[in-house]
Each structure stands twice: as C-alpha cells, then as structure tokens.
Structure 1
Amino acid sequence: MTASPIAVTGLGLVTAVGIGAEDSWRGVCAGRSAARRNPELEGLPVDISCTVPDFDATKRVGRRSTLVHDRFVQLTVTAAREAVADSGLDPKTWDGARVGVVIGCGLGGVSTWERQHRNLLGEGPGAVSALLIPMLVPNMVAGHLAMEFGATGPNFVTATACASGATAIGAALDLLRDDRCDVVITGGGEAGVSPLIVTGFAQMGALSRRLDEPGAASRPFDADRDGFVIGEGSGVLVLEREVDARARGAHIRARIAGYGASADAHHMTAPDPEGAGIHRALRAALADADVAPGDVDHVNAHGTSTPLNDAAESRALRALLGTEAAVTSTKGVVGHTLGAAGAIEAALTVLTVETSTVPPTANLENQDPDIDLDIVSKAPLDRRIDVAVSDSFGFGGQNAVLVFTSA
C-alpha cells in the first residue's frame, strides 16, 4: 500500500432523482422511489423503470452529442464534468500522461444497437450509421473522457456486470498505489433501459411485477420483495493521493481505504446462497483497509430487492460484521443501474461519510425476518460515519467491495 492514503476530491452524479450530486443526494435522502411507468416500454411484460428526468444531451454534452454518443456516454460525460470541476483540478494545466480513466460499464450502447438494427431490417444497410461501432462498444466511454479532459494515461473499461462500477474504482485505487497515475477519473455509467434488455431481465424473472404500484416496486430487504426496477445513470469520482490533494489545498470528501474482489464460482446468475464469495471479498477489502469488522459504521448494500440476492448478501454481512452497522440500499430510490450501480453507490457512500447522514431504504415496510441487520428505513439516520463499506455483485458471481473512511 502506498504511504499516502487515497483521497476522493471530486464527485459527480446523474441519477433518476437528479442531475448533479446535490440533487441526487437530496432525492436519495428523501427516500421516495423514482420508478414510473415508461411509455417506451409499453406492451412489454414489465414497463416500469427509473430513468434520468429531463436529460437534454444537446445542452448537457454538446450539439453533436446525439450524433456521436450513445446515452450511456452522455450520462457519464455529464457526471465526469461535475466531478472534475468539483475536484478543483484544471485539465488545461495537469500532466495528462499521469491522469488515468477507469470506468465500469456492463452493457455499452444497447439503445444504439437496437435502433441501428431496426434501420438495417427496415431500410437496408445504407440506413445504418457509420458510427454504429464506436457508439456501442463499452470502452468508448473511457475514450471519450480521455478526449474530454486530455487524459493520456491508462484508459480502460471494466465489465463485471453489476459490479462494474465498483471494480473500476478498485482498479483506479491500484493505479494510484502503484504510482502509475497521479489522478484517476473513475466510476461507472449505464443506460440499459431499452426494450430488449428489459425484456431479457423480465424473462429471467429478475424484475418486479408490481406494475400497478411502480413507486413501491423496488423494496430491498422487504419480506414482499419480488425483483428489481431497472434504472440508468452515472457516478464518477476523482481520486488522487492525499498528500498531493493537501499540497494544493483541495477539499477532501473522504478517503478510499480498501478494495476486495472475489468470484462465487457457483452459478451464471444466482449468488452463492450462503454468501461465501461476498464474505471473501468483504474480508479482503477490510484487510486491505486495515480495518476490523467491528469498526464498520455503515454499509451501502447491493440490495437489489431480489429474493436470492438480498438473502445471500445479508447472510454474509451478518456473519462478518454483526448487526451494529447501519445498512441501507439506495436502489429502492434510483433503481438498479446495472454497471453504474457500484459507482453511484460509492459516490453516495462518500456523501454519507462526509455528511454523517445515512439515507433510508425506500419501501421497507416489513423487513424480512430472516434478514438480521440494522437497516435504515423511513427517514435518514444522523450518525457519525468513520468507516463505510459499499458492496456490489454481478452475474457470473463477481463480487467487489470498497471501503471508505472519513477524511
């Protein structure tokens, strides 16, 4: 581990409850779900989602954006611009070769893929955009951020399904510790609310069928949970060594102290029912941070609102951390943003540490009696948070856990 801790000096968010960190944080703390019936999903088995409201890419990103960017890139560029501005760093003066970009994305440009496939079937090859490939491949989000900020250091995308954003932040941490970079722009972005993707999840039985009450559909850890609500968004952090941040007088929101990862090696989509892989990743992250399990004050849980995931996760958390940590799942508000989830939740965990406020878990009316955790619900909890964990898990049994500490 590097002699200097790693600081979070910039933060940007785009979620279904707001464009910008301030609006997103306010919406998450209010604890009201953003889930709504989505006209673009009309006629599908499930037509509810959590989408970013009033997002105008032309105004937010640029006049040509709709021609060259898929929505997942637009959302991430918006969050990254906020994060870099928040950090106080000036891309015009930094050494771009020492600036890395690591972004998590599970799907890539699915809306572009669907739209251009319809063009091919309906009008023939001539109607397919020449920019189809660069608009849909996931790595382009990191490429566009490099061009945006003149970041010519390490540049890549991580794809570990719904753990992608957390995996990216863990990789960014390693780049700084190994002295390969001085600054890393990291996080995740996803825009997977498309008819094909939603249908695929519905066919698996992963989505909530509470169609007559969309605002109550995502209910992590509730006895009546029946699946997740798909969402979209982006979360981006700017990381740098604390000694560098303090030398330039930067505001340090929190420290990122540890990262752990593991594989369940159990099933394509279902978690290990005992949460063994989660337990290994959590234990590794705490060891990396040199933190004892009893020191953890807060967990921003993966908490998807699916029966199997919530049960496995709660077993792992209970086994290692006990019941003292204040646990929340913000997916009840913003939905499950897939490859962006770990990054959005990491950003929200930073805000929890910084503000000593734990957001509530939306729609938790009847906590599953088999889930023996202190889950925050109804209203935010005011409590000093010195050590916080954000955990994320993905199809394929891929687990990623991050540890944050107060500055």
Structure 2
Amino acid sequence: MVQKVNKMNDDIVTIFQWKLVSFVSKYNQQQNVFFIDLNNQIGHFYYNGNCWSYESLTGFVEGAAPKAGSPLTGFVSEYNQQQHVSFIDANNHIKQLVYCGNKWGCEDLTVAANAPTPQASGPLTSFASEYNKQQHIIFIDANNHIGQIVYDGTKLMYEDLTVAANAPTPQASSPLTSFASEYNKQQHIIFIDANNHIGQIVYGGTKLMYEDLTVGADAPTPQVGSPLTSFMSEYNQQQHVIFIDANNHIGQIVYDGTKLTYEDLTAGAKGVTPQAGSALIGFASESNQQQYVFFVDANNYIGEIFYNGATLSYQDLKLLTYEGRVLTGFADGYQPHVFFIDPNNIISHISYGLHCEELKK
C-alpha cells in the first residue's frame, strides 16, 4: 500500500516549469532533486539520511536564473566530489551551477568554451566520465548539430559531435540522453535523427563514431514525440536505451557486449501502454542487480516495469500525477527512488516499499 504524507500548506514548494533532475552524490551520501519553481528559480531538495532540506539556488547564487522553459540537467562527479546542474539563461547561454563542498558557484559555459548557442528550446543532457575524470554537457545548436562542452580538469572545450562522428543531424525536437560505460571506457550520446531512427554517437578513446541503433537492433521506429532515456547496468556490462514505439509500446535496445537486440517491454511485462507524451526514466540498482523503467499511463498513473534477472514484471504504483511528462529518479543502493509532480502541483517522492511523501521546505 502507498502511504501518503500529509502536506504542510505553508511549507510546500509548488512547481511551475515542470523540469526535474535528480541524482545521488555518494561521496557525501546525499540524495538530490533540482527543479524550476513558480518564480522561475532553481530550487534544490537534498536528503542527508535524516530529513529533506531545501535551498533556493537562484536566490543565493549570482547569475543562476534560467530562461522561461529552460531545460534542466545534472550529474555528480564523484572523482572530485562536485555536483553540477546546467540550464539555459535569458541570453540563450548554457550555464552551470557547481557545488564544490562548501558553496555553489555559477559559470557561463557558452562563453568559457567559446561554444555556439543552443537551440532556443533545445534539450540538454550531461554526465561525468569517471574513468578519465571529465565532465560533459551535450546540446543541439542553432545549426542543428549536436555539440559538447567538455571539462578535462584544466579547461573547457567545445566539440561539434555531428561533424566529428560524421553523424546525421537530429530531427526537429529530438530528445537527448547520454551516459558513460565505465567498464569499457566509452561515452554515449543518443538522439533521434531526421529519418526517425535512434542514433548513437560513441567515443571509445581514440575517435568518435556514429551507429544507427534502430537498424543495428532491428527495432521499430519511435513514435513522434517519443522521449529517450538510457542507462548502464554495470553488474552485467549491458547498455540500455528506452523509447516509445509507433504502436505505443515501451521498447528497449540493449547491447550485451557482442550484439544489439530489441525487446518490447510492454508486451514482455504484460503492462499497460503509456500516455501520449509520457515521460520515461530508467536505471539499474547495482546492489540487487535489478533494472527499472517508469512511465505514466493513459489515466495519469505511474507504472513500473522491472527486471529481476529472470523475468519482466509490471506494477501500477497507484500514484496519480499532475504532469505526465515529468519524472526523474535513481537507485540508491538497492532502493529505487522516483520523483514526480502530484495532483496538487507539488513534488512528490516514492521510494522502495511504496512509501510516498510530498517534499516540503
């Protein structure tokens, strides 16, 4: 059963922009959720093992003001114990909030890397590659090329990934997703191209390469407006790309180290179909070797597809959302955590055991 925590009316943060990003910072054993609020300010909830706390980053860090409708992306770089949150400001520059252990700072990445500006409403994705101690922020520029701003520990640099990988350009409104596969020291940037194929730009240490995942896995094409999400399951050294296909089924392209394969997760788990425009998130819990995919169904309830190593299963979490396009989450140890916007237009959190709470200041 789901346990609902009663909200305190004077302590609730209400969401307007409906952008959420979350991650675990293992170095300080903290869970983090970032969002854009009613006043177009970036807020941060963090859990230190005892309780949730709140801080307004825009209100305390100079330059930390996103443009209306800005995307939001974030990651932790464990190797140097930093937290990173990136957004687009009113000048259409990519900026990054960085927490270095005692305070937050803000940097204009577009200026520092001498990079082109992103598309006005374009997506952002980001990750750290721990194996080579680098930080990556990915975007689509005004020329419809996928670009990367990289920090290598000494300086920020810009690279046109579309040109370097000889890749096709993304389709209009293509989503972006990315990750590093630490076990084989590779970097992966995934998008949907103009032919409605899911493509991947891969860096393996010497050069950038392009791969058509739709063709390689003999997978169906994504539906118009499909989101993308991706993750590594390090315990079995597999790579996963999740999307919604033209039949409104959630599909997965998997690389197991030797070949690409396609799997219909909706059919395999005997689950319900997602709503039009549903958000998708996926991740692995390394400690118990399970994989999770979350989505929003046609009735605006959150559904879960999980794989325990032997079988796929579906579960209706019985949680009603306000905005089906917004989900974020992660695994912390063996526990999955999902954050969403509830019918009261408030950030809610569900964790293992189906305990649900509204986050408050």
- Give me the TM-score of the superposition, normalised by structure 1: 0.32
Higher strand residue share: 2
Q: Could you state the TM-score of these two structures normalised by the residue count of structure 2? A: 0.35
